[in-house]
Each structure stands twice: as structure tokens, then as C-alpha cells.
Amino acid sequence: MSVARGSLYRTVQRTRNRGLTGLYLLVAALLVAYVSLFPGVLSLAGFSRFTQNWFPLALVTMAQALLMLNGGISLSIGPLVSLGAVIAATTMSGPLGVPGGIVLVAVTGLGVGAVFGTIVALFRLPAIIVTLAGSFIVGGVALLVLPKPGGMVPAWFSDALAGQYPTAFLLLLLVIVGWKVFMATPTGLGLYAAGDNPLGAFRSGVRVERVRIVAFALSGLLTVLAGLFVAAQTGSGDPVIGAPMTLNSIAGAVLGGVGFLGGRGTMRGALAGSLLLAAMINVMFFLGFPPVAQYVAQGLIIVAAVAVPELLSRRQRA
Amino acid sequence: MNRSLVTRVAAHPWVLTLVLVALVWIVAGFTLRGFGSWGHLRYLLELSAVIGIVAAGQTLVVIAGGIDLSVGAVMTVSAILLPLLSPADDPTGLAGIGATLAIATGIGILNGAGAAYLRVPPIIMTLAMATFLQGLLIIVAGGSAVSVSNPAVIWLGSARPLGLPAGVILWILVSAATLYALHRTPFGARLMAIGANPIASRLSGLAVDRASVRLYSASGFLAGVAGILLLGMNRQGYAGIGDPYLLSSIAAVVLGGTSILGGRGTYAGTVPGAILLVTSTALITVVNASPGWRSIMFGSLILALLLVSGREARR
């Protein structure tokens, strides 16, 4: 390995990119194929449309990766997306208006996440079960808020978020900057540390419980914001619209090389994974695959994405 | 005296689950009209049998430190494929059952091979398998409901030899076999060891890979049995018929005091866990709440039960 040429920062970043080269190449190849199949994506409207399909997936993948890096997992991503969508659709056209609706959605996400995190951290229950039980509760609340698809998001707000301008892409950049800033704080670093080795992190002064609760709260925030965006995209709310998001969020994070046991993986990998998934879904949609064939392909691709690097690394060791 | 009783109960979380079921049945039997009738209790047991059988495989997998998220999909596959695989000229219907169970077991073997030889984490392997099956099924079966005419399956879903529903008798047999396999055979001991510490097990010369292939094939087989039983009770198979049973199977395992982290647990807890789950769902239905409230109550109930019984020991 070459010795650090630039700053320490660059060296660290290079190390963190290691193992992701294959993924980046795959994503690049898929995007090239995509552009050659549908040159329209290069126009402003086409680019906006494509990033709008990617945006909610990117948000929930980040929400899932955030927890997985901390050694947790959430099976309530889907219902929480739905909850964000129905709250947005029922409040924004009411007296609270759009700003009030956004605040209410954000507070709900932070609150639900914090409650899950508190139960996991303080009562020492496994995250997978708490969020599994929680998915019923959150899904039920979404049904109470809006029993049938309906509600409304003001048209100007839909146009601003999911119109012909790439607002979604700019928002995603903003979220990524936010993640970078968060990773520069002690809590952000503690997130990785507590995921990799909770006891070691605790002995080094990381407040493991608090970090876990913060991780769940932030994850909840990202998830409901994805729901808010979906509501703006469709112009209305649907209490079960988030259902496929749970699997997709896990798939995106795993494709991006984020490990289940905590502390392994990077957010850039997870984002690349979600982009891969989004491009894949788009391509299959445009090629006229029936939605069910997408399931088959998705299942195969996820297994391959995990198995191939593992088999390659085993061959290298042997 | 009192304290030692509490300590003893805490040492066996499944006793707590059993006591809870008894308590719920007694209270509900006295307060709700018709709850305590034999017909109703028999119906609850029949519903529990489906969850109990699929949760038997899940218990084994969880004890060995894994998780099987494909059981719902395997049940659906079995329920839809069975009518297609039953030859019309077979008066017993056993050929169709055999073929279906072979496929369910095969799916389990694939899960196990993926987890063991490709090193795909079980949660991903089985989740991807579920997604894969979901798509494949609609391509193969076209997404319409199929009715069953297989005599053996109809018998299983409706007959009452000895006054007990055939499904419940099947559940008793499965329970006996599972408890025996788990606590009285080397295979069961291996599962506990792998769940407690896979690396130590491997270093001790245990064939971990082979054990997990057998493990997931058992889970696939049992999910297939549960799917066939469900089909017999329902008389119709359709896409999504097995979906609710994934969460129920995991909840039953955890309510029964089996550690989700593996290495510790027993099927003796999953049995009352399954009954508790079905009973509380039935009670929630009695309250006549909207689907939203029902879902909230179901989730809160599981969470509350977990806070009481499912707490992981501090390490």
C-alpha cells in the first residue's frame, strides 16, 4: 500500500473506500447503461424525475444504515414512511399549513424513533423485535390518521418538491452534508464506536445508551421525511404506501456493504447501494418487466451482492 | 419462599408464558360469553396449531442464532402449489403432499446452503428468498386463488378424530418431535452450541455448515406442513395467505422465552407463546375495534409481554 501522500484525512477516506470499488463500478456501469437506454434522463426534467424516484429510497436506506452501523436494525421503516405520508397529507391542507405539517411530521419521526431507541437501550430488548412489534403500532396509528387513501398536499408544495426541478437531489446533498457534520461530533463518532464494540466504547467514555437513542431518533426523522416526500410526490396520503420500504432499506444498506453487527460499512456505500437499487427498479420498470419479475431479480441480486465479495475474499485468503 | 418462587419462574421464562395463557383463559372464560365453550377453545387451538407448527422451525433456527424470514413465503408457496401438484388420479392425495413438502424442504436447503456456504447472513438470505418466492409464485400461478380438492388435505383441515381437530393432533406430534430433537438428540445439542458461540463450535470440530443446512431444511419443511394445514382449514390458497405467519412465528418464539440472540430457549415456551398470541388476537377482535386500533393493540401487547418476559440478560 502506498504511504499517505496527502493529508491524514485523505488516507482515512481511501481506506474507507476500500472494498467499495466494485460497487462503484457496478453503479457506474448501470448508470451508463441507463443513460444509453433512456437519453432523456440527461435533460433537467429527466434528471429531476430520476432523482425523485431515488430520493425516498436514499433516505430510508440512510435511516436503516444509521441503525445498522450502530448495531441495530429497524423493521418498522415501511409503516413509519406511511405514517409520515398520512400526517403530511392530513395536516398540510388544514389550519397548520405546510410549515406546521413539516414540523409535525418531523417531531413525530424523532419522537417515535426516540421511544424505540429508549426501549432498546434502557430495557435491553433486541432492536429487531422492538421494531417488529412497533411496526404494528405505527402501522395502526397510520390507519387511524387516515383509514383510506386520501388527504391532500397543496399543489404548489408538490411542484416545489417533486416538480420539474431537481429539488430532491439538492435536499439529498443537504442531508449528506448534515451526515458529514454529524460524523464530526462526538455523538457521531460514538455511533460507530458503540456499534463496533459497545463495551470498549463505554470504557472509552462514549455514552452508549444515549448514542443509541439518538441513532433511533435520527433514523426515525429520515424515515418520516421520506414519507413526507412520497406524499408530496403522489399529492395525497396512503396508510400502506411505505410497505415495500422495509425490505428496500435493508437491501440498499446491505448492497452498500453495511454489516449487520455494527461498526462495519459506510454511509457512502449505503447511498451507492440505494442508487443501484433505484436504477435497477427504474430499468426493469422501463423495460416492461412485470412488477413480480422485479421481486425475483431483486432477491437474486441481493444474495449475489453479499455472496460474491465473500467468495472472492475467501479465494484471496486461500 | 415467595422470592424463591419468583426466581424460579424467572429462570424459566416459558413458565411465565404458560401462567399468562392460563390467566387470560380463566379471566376471559368468566367475563366473556361463549369464550369458555369447548367449541371456541377448540377453534383457538386449531388456529394456534398453524402458528405453533411454523414456529417450531423458527424456534430451532432462532436457538441456533439465526432467523428465518422466509417462512411466510414458504407457507404461501405450499398452499398454492399443492393443488397444482396433486394428480387427479391419486385417491389418497398423499402424492401431492409429498411433492409439496419436498419443495418446501428444498427451499429450506437453499436457505441453509446460502447461509452456510455463501456466508450470506441468514436474515438477508431468507428475506431475499421470500422476495424471490413472492415474485416466482405470481409468475407460476398467475396470482389467482386456487381451491383445494386433495382429499388428504381436506381431511386434515376438517376431520376430528378422537374429538380433537386433526390439525391439533398434528401439532401435538410436531411438538413431541421438536422437543425430542431439541433436548434429547445430538442435533439439538449442536444447535444450542452453535447459537451460543458459532466460532467456538467450529473450532471444537462441529460441522456447523452441515448443521445449518439441516436446520433450515427443517424450518422449510415445517413451514410447508403449516402451509398445507392452513390450506386445509381455508380450502383456498392465494398469494399472501402465509404473510401474517412470519411475524406471528417470531413473536411466538420470543414470547416463549427463547433468546433471539440464540443459544438459549425451548419449544416448550413457543407452544404457550403461540396460544397466547392467538388468544389475544381473538380478544382484540372481540373488542370490535377498527383495524387501526386492532393493530396498535396487537403491537403494544407483544411489546408489553416482551418487557415482562423477553428481557435479555445483562452480559
Does residue A206 sit within a domain?
Answer: yes
* CB proximity under 8 Å: B 47-76 to A: 67
CB-nearest partner of B131 from A135, A143, A247? A247
Residue A146 · residue A153 · CB < 8 Å: no
B178-226 pLDDT, tens digit per residue, is 999 999 999 999 999 999 988 898 898 888 899 999 999 999 999 999 9
Residue A23 · residue A272 · CB < 8 Å: yes
Read off the amino acid at residue A272: A
What per-residue confidence (pLDDT) applies to A6? 60
Count how many domains chain A has. Answer: 1
Report the 10 Å Cβ neighbour count for B3.
7
Closest chain A residue by Cα to residue B298: A136
Evaluate if residue B315 carries a pLDDT over 50: no
B282 touching A, CB under 8 A? no
What per-residue confidence (pLDDT) applies to B74? 95
Helix (H, G, I), strand (E, B) or coil at B99: helix
C-alpha A94: how far from chain center: 29
Does residue A11 sit within a domain?
Answer: no
Please, which pLDDT band fits residue A166 given cuts at 50, 70 and 90? confident
| Helices first, then strands: H and E counts in chain A | 14, 0
CB-nearest partner of B303 from A126, A133, A307? A133
Q: Looking at beta carbons, which residues of chain A come within 8 Å of B250?
A: 129, 132
Residue the block writes with cell 421511544: A115
| Best of A141, A303, A308, A314 to mutate (most B CBs within 10 Å, chain B) | A303
When computed from its CA atoms, the radius of gyration of chain B, rounded to whole angstroms, is: 20
Evaluate if residue B304 carries a pLDDT over 90: no
Closest chain A residue by Cα to residue B116: A307
A125, B311: Cβ pair inside 8 Å?
Answer: yes
Strands (E) in chain A, as ranges, are none
B131, A134: Cβ pair inside 8 Å?
Answer: no
What whole-number distance in Å separates Cα of residue A62 and Cα of residue A64?
Answer: 5
Does residue A47 sit within a domain?
Answer: yes
pLDDT, mean over chain B: 85
Residues comprising chain A, all counted: 318
Does residue A141 sit within a domain?
Answer: yes
A247, B127: Cβ pair inside 8 Å?
Answer: yes
Does residue A266 sit within a domain?
Answer: no
B131, A130: Cβ pair inside 8 Å?
Answer: no
B308 touching A, CB under 8 A? no
Does residue A194 sit within a domain?
Answer: yes
Cβ-Cβ pairs closer than 8 A, A with B, add up to 144
Strand pairing report for B236-237 and B146-147: antiparallel
What whole-number distance in Å separates Cα of residue A181 and Cα of residue A179?
Answer: 5
Residues comprising chain B, all counted: 315
Highest mean pLDDT among A217-226, B79-88, B131-140, B258-267: A217-226
Read off the amino acid at residue B201: S
Q: Model ipTM?
A: 0.80
Domain ranges, residue A83: 41-243
Does residue A36 sit within a domain?
Answer: no
B89-127 pLDDT, tens digit per residue, is 777 888 889 999 999 999 999 999 998 888 888 888 898
Bigger pLDDT: B285 vs A230: A230
Closest chain A residue by Cα to residue B133: A296
A19-50 pLDDT, tens digit per residue, is 677 788 888 888 888 888 888 888 888 888 88
Closest chain A residue by Cα to residue B128: A299
Read off the amino acid at residue B112: G
Closest chain A residue by Cα to residue B255: A129
CB-nearest partner of A129 from B123, B254, B314? B254
Bigger pLDDT: A93 vs A305: A93
Read off the amino acid at residue B194: I
Residue B57 · residue B68 · CB < 8 Å: yes
What per-residue confidence (pLDDT) applies to A76? 92
Q: Which CATH architecture has domain B37-309?
A: Orthogonal Bundle (1.10)
Task: Look up residue B237 and give its DSSP letter.
Answer: E
**In this structure, what C-alpha cell is assigned to residue A287?**
423495460
Q: Which helix (H) or strand (E) holds B146?
A: strand B146-147
Q: B144 vs chain A: nearest CA distance in angstroms?
A: 14
